[in-house]
């Protein structure tokens, strides 16, 4: 287990918590170093958070031994967020950190707020949420310690976290192509489609929203299974039930930053 001072000068800490591997490791480290009575897990709740992700986050926090404080975020009320440009994540994180500052910091007497950016994410050009963290003076202990994705996964296993092998699960808005407006209806549609696929036994997945078309991203090992009988008909039926007219399986597999990276790399 890595031993270093992740939180120098911090007495009470709020962790922007999603239940993903990064924020869960950050929460576990905070509890280890500061004590559970000095740590608050803060979960932002909005239509961009899938219901099963919300439940899973609470389960991980219970395992770590920290109560979750939920804050309702209203990024969907922001014109710039709904417009869905490459900076959409900035507006989402700015809303989250603003709500935490307004509703949690004083109420829980926090000295600082931290979030789970790791060293790999810190090098990527498609993470505008990092700019919001900087503006709100939110700490990023994992990145500052040089912990990359692989190191964070190792720590998750050492802590025996239930999410240690969980695939990355970006917010539902990331499934909508940039410059196509984000709406509650589209987010709900994607959530229904992805929940149905998980019910069919798929775990690492994305359903990209292209109007009438659901473009399904799966790891290479799952591609054949998704288009072969008997699951092929079930996958198609699930996408229709979610409100799409057509279902397409993308042979490129799961693609992190599929919509944002091409835009920011071209800039």
Residue 207 corresponds to which tokens in the numbers above? 């359903």
DSSP-derived secondary structure letter, 161: -
Active site amino acids:
171
Q: ω into residue 155 within 30 of 0, thus cis?
A: no
| Rounded Cα–Cα distance for residues 209 and 53 (Å) | 19
Dihedral angle sign, alpha carbons of residues 258, 197, 44, 65 = negative
Contact yes or no for 27/64 (Cβ under 8 A): yes
Segment holding 58, helix H or strand E = helix 51-64
**Terminal C-alpha separation, the chain:** 40
CB 244 within 8 A of CB 235: no
Residue that has been written with the tokens 């709904």 in this structure = 82
Distance CA 223, CA 249 (A): 7
Best CA proximity match to 93, nearest among 151, 135, 51: 135
How many residues does the structure list for the chain? 267
* Beta bridge partners of residue 206, listed in sequence order: 217
Torsion of Cα atoms, 201 then 207 then 213 then 219, to 10°: -70
| Distance, CA of 76 to CA of 67 (rounded, Å) | 26
């Amino acid at each position: 287990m890595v031993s270093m001072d992740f939180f120098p000068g911090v007495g009470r800490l709020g962790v922007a918590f999603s239940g993903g591997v990064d924020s869960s490791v950050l929460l576990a480290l905070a509890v280890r170093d500061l004590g559970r009575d000095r740590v608050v897990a803060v979960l932002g709740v909005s239509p961009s958070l899938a219901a099963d992700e919300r439940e899973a986050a609470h389960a991980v926090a219970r395992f770590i031994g920290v109560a979750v404080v939920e804050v309702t975020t209203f990024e969907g009320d922001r014109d710039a967020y709904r417009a869905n440009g490459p900076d959409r994540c900035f507006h989402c994180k700015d809303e989250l950190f603003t709500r935490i500052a307004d509703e949690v910091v004083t109420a829980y007497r926090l000295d600082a707020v931290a979030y789970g950016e790791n060293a790999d994410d810190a090098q990527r050009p498609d993470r505008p949420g990092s700019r919001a963290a900087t503006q709100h003076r939110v700490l990023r202990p994992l990145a500052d310690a040089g912990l990359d994705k692989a190191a964070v996964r190792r720590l998750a296993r050492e802590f025996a976290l239930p999410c240690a092998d969980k695939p990355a699960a970006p917010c539902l808005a990331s499934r909508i192509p940039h410059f196509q407006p984000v709406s509650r209806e589209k987010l709900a549609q994607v959530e229904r489609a992805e929940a149905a696929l998980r019910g069919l036994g798929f775990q690492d997945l994305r359903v990209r929203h292209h109007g009438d078309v659901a473009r399904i991203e799966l790891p290479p090992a799952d591609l054949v299974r998704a288009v072969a009988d008997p699951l092929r008909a079930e996958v198609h039926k699930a996408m229709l039930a979610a409100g799409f007219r057509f279902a397409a399986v993308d042979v490129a597999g799961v693609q992190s930053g599929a919509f944002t990276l091409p835009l920011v790399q071209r800039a």
